[in-house]
Amino acid sequence: MLDPANPNTFANSPLDRAGHRRRDAAWLEQACARDDARVALFHKLNPFVFDEDGVRTPGWLGGHARVLCGPGASVLFLGVDQSGAPHFAAEVPDGADMDEFPLAAMGAFEDMRAAAMLLPAPDAAILGCAKAILDWHRRHAFCAQCGASTQRVEGGWKRLCASCGAEHFPRVDPVVIMLATFGDKCLLGRQARFPRGMYSALAGFVEPGESIEEAVARETLEEAGLTVRAVRYHSTQPWPFPSSLMIGCLAEVTGDRETIDHEELESARWFTREEARLLVTGKHGEAFAPPPFAIAHQLLKTWARA
């Protein structure tokens, strides 16, 4: 579904997932052989991107591209576009000799983050979804219930254990990411691994038994020692590293005396609304925000404009 109000990279895929086709193996096989079929290749979870004199475009190939994935390679069915063209993703084996890769002159396998910043947003959304599912398959070769090996079924949207019959579905891990605000200022934190000068919103995984509001309050208290009194939902971002859903919120806190958890953060700093405007436009001088590709940037931008 297209939601013009959601500004996030990896959201707003233009495809109809056509879930009713997933169980129809004959339709999937026929669809992949159609002239209008489009296949995205991945190698070690990096999507193939065309490169023409430095101009990068999505590496959509025809169904014949499957031959590059080895005999019997399965494809992941991603859905159909507005014209009805079926879209798939397939993986070139990890051990393939990439020096001899037949399409090397046309482009390269690009890191997913870099690709998302280079490619049109609709393609980034489709490829991000594919990456998350291909990654899930790699990590779920065995049944969590009985330990036997599992098989990929239903166009790549399920794994089935032939031994105990358990069905396994792709996982999504919810993460809350919140901009803590107090009056006319907001708190941003720095992790030691961040590039020098970069500050971002606080974040953490939602735990079992927690609402989004509870997770926002717990993480804000744990990481910054601040008490949340109101939570406002902003937007969500599918985040395929490996398979999270970032739930962006604005969190109003009751005071501005933070106590940092130094296991999580190196430091934290309050920024005024005027400074927030400078952070998102890259004109602050001392500090900068994550790029527009990150939901933290969008949260800050929304609050800075308010």
Binding site for Zn ion (CB under 5 A): 143, 145-146, 148, 161, 163-164, 166
* Minimum CB–partner distance for residue 72 and Zn ion (Å): 23
* Minimum CB–partner distance for residue 75 and Zn ion (Å): 24
Cα-flanking dihedrals φ and ψ of residue 201, to 5°? -75, 155
Closer by beta carbon to Zn ion, 158 or else 273: 158
Closer by beta carbon to Zn ion, 11 or else 143: 143
Query: Within 10 A of 58 (CB to CB), how many other CB atoms are there?
Result: 21
* Minimum CB–partner distance for residue 48 and Zn ion (Å): 34
Closer by beta carbon to Zn ion, 56 or else 137: 137
Are 166 and 140 spatial neighbours (Cβ–Cβ below 8 Å)? no
State the residue for tokens 């900068």. Answer: 288
* Minimum CB–partner distance for residue 153 and Zn ion (Å): 14
Closer by beta carbon to Zn ion, 27 or else 142: 142
**Whole-Å CA distances, 194 to 12, 116, 200, 205:** 28, 20, 9, 19
* Minimum CB–partner distance for residue 167 and Zn ion (Å): 10
Closer by beta carbon to Zn ion, 67 or else 164: 164
Closer by beta carbon to Zn ion, 140 or else 273: 140
Helix (H) or strand (E) holding 112: helix 112-118
DSSP state of 1: -
DSSP result, 200-244: B-EEEEPPTT--HHHHHHHHHHHHH---EEEEEEEEEEEETTTTE
Query: Within 10 A of 266 (CB to CB), how many other CB atoms are there?
Result: 12
* Minimum CB–partner distance for residue 159 and Zn ion (Å): 10
Closer by beta carbon to Zn ion, 168 or else 301: 168
**Whole-Å CA distances, 213 to 149, 218, 257, 279:** 38, 9, 21, 27
* Minimum CB–partner distance for residue 166 and Zn ion (Å): 4
3-state secondary structure of 89: strand
* Minimum CB–partner distance for residue 165 and Zn ion (Å): 7
Closer by beta carbon to Zn ion, 85 or else 166: 166
Record the tokens describing residue 135, joined without a space: 């990654």
Closer by beta carbon to Zn ion, 106 or else 166: 166
* Minimum CB–partner distance for residue 145 and Zn ion (Å): 5
Query: Within 10 A of 50 (CB to CB), how many other CB atoms are there?
Result: 16
Taking the CA atoms of residue 115, residue 117, residue 120 and residue 123 in that order, the dihedral angle to the nearest 10 degrees is 40
Tell me the C-alpha distance between 110 and 116, whole Å.
Answer: 9
CA-CA-CA-CA torsion sign (69, 74, 76, 79):
positive
